[in-house]
């Protein structure tokens, strides 16, 4: 099972990377897989989400940190269930939208597969059992609350949560992305070991790097009603990016280049 999960992580991480590049560069056949019209910022946002999934997934397969599969699988299971059910509801409201029905069915099938992976990976011990630093845990708790509030507001189709105009249907879909990510952070708080947190920080850093330049450029065009949302969004990205970069690459005790496992357990911070 470990070998299967490791191979599955590598293959799926590679596929998510290709999809991320397709949305980032707006390759027509890739963007066509998503049955909603996307603005430039929406395409970049989806690219950032896909890359945020791809990088930790590739890392899990490369390092064999199979114990951290569960959190990511639960994240995507929740996201795909929400997207799938909502898409099928839309189809029954307008049966001419067959591409949305196909998307919904594929989302639910993906959710079923990911739920199976979560079940199989439950209880697998992490290689890196070092405790997650206190500051990272506090940050994760804040991220989880933020994602809950933003995701809930999006599912309720609230305006101006995103700093650009998106339709009501996309708001709901993006809301489920946020609620799935919230589950990932909650799991890292329930099981606060560094083998869990590293993957999330990698994903956050990838997400930030894709979005930061387009969002900074968007200050020139953002409408007044969405400027506060853009400012908060950029602030969160800067904070999470610095957090991830520091603990992944600078902190000598916790970085990707430090010793993992039980040896050299760091004091709580």
Residue 255 lies in a domain: no
The rounded Cα 133 to chain-centroid distance in angstroms is: 21
Provide the pLDDT for residue 3. Answer: 84
Sites in the chain below the pLDDT cut of 50: 261-269
Query: Residue 126 in contact with residue 195, Cβ under 8 Å?
Result: yes
Provide the pLDDT for residue 96. Answer: 96
Regarding pTM above 0.85, the answer is yes
Provide the pLDDT for residue 258. Answer: 77
Provide the pLDDT for residue 263. Answer: 40
Residue 258 lies in a domain: no
Provide the pLDDT for residue 82. Answer: 98
Smallest Cα–Cα separation from 166: which of 30, 46, 38, 48?
A: 38
Containing structural domain, residue 53: 2-250
Residue 257 lies in a domain: no
Residue 266 lies in a domain: no
- DSSP letters, 219-258, are TTT--HHHHHHHHHHHHHHHHHHHHHHIIIII-TTTSTTS
Query: Residue 198 in contact with residue 59, Cβ under 8 Å?
Result: yes
- Distances from the Cα of 165 to the Cα of 139, 191, 239, 255, angstroms: 29, 37, 24, 38
Residue 256 lies in a domain: no
- Distances from the Cα of 242 to the Cα of 4, 89, 120, 255, angstroms: 34, 40, 34, 13
Residue 130 lies in a domain: yes
Residue 267 lies in a domain: no
Smallest Cα–Cα separation from 141: which of 245, 149, 55, 235?
A: 149
Provide the pLDDT for residue 260. Answer: 58
Number of domains in the chain: 1
Residue 231 lies in a domain: yes
């Amino acid at each position: 099972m470990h070998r299967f999960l490791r191979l599955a992580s590598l293959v799926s991480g590679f596929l998510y990377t290709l999809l991320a590049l397709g949305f980032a560069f707006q390759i027509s056949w890739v963007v066509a897989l998503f049955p909603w019209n996307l603005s430039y910022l929406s395409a970049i946002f989806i690219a950032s989400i896909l890359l945020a999934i791809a990088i930790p997934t590739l890392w899990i397969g490369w390092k064999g940190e199979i114990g951290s599969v569960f959190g990511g699988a639960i994240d995507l299971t929740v996201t795909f269930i929400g997207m799938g059910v909502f898409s099928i509801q839309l189809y029954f409201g307008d049966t001419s939208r067959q591409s949305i029905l196909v998307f919904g069915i594929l989302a639910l099938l993906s959710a079923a597969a990911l739920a199976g992976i979560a079940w199989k990976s439950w209880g697998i011990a992490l290689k890196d059992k070092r405790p997650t630093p206190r500051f990272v845990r506090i940050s994760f708790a804040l991220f989880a609350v933020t994602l809950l509030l933003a995701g809930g507001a999006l599912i309720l189709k609230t305006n101006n949560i995103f700093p650009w105009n998106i339709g009501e249907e996309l708001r709901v879909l993006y809301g489920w992305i946020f609620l799935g990510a919230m589950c990932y952070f909650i799991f890292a708080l329930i099981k606060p070991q560094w083998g869990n947190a590293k993957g999330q920080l990698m994903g956050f850093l990838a997400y930030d790097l894709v979005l930061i330049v387009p969002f900074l450029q968007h200050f020139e065009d953002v409408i007044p009603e969405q400027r506060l949302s853009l400012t908060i969004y950029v602030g969160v990205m800067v904070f999470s990016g610095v957090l991830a970069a520091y603990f992944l690459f600078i902190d000598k005790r916790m970085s990707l280049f430090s010793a993992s496992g039980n040896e050299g357990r760091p004091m709580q911070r």
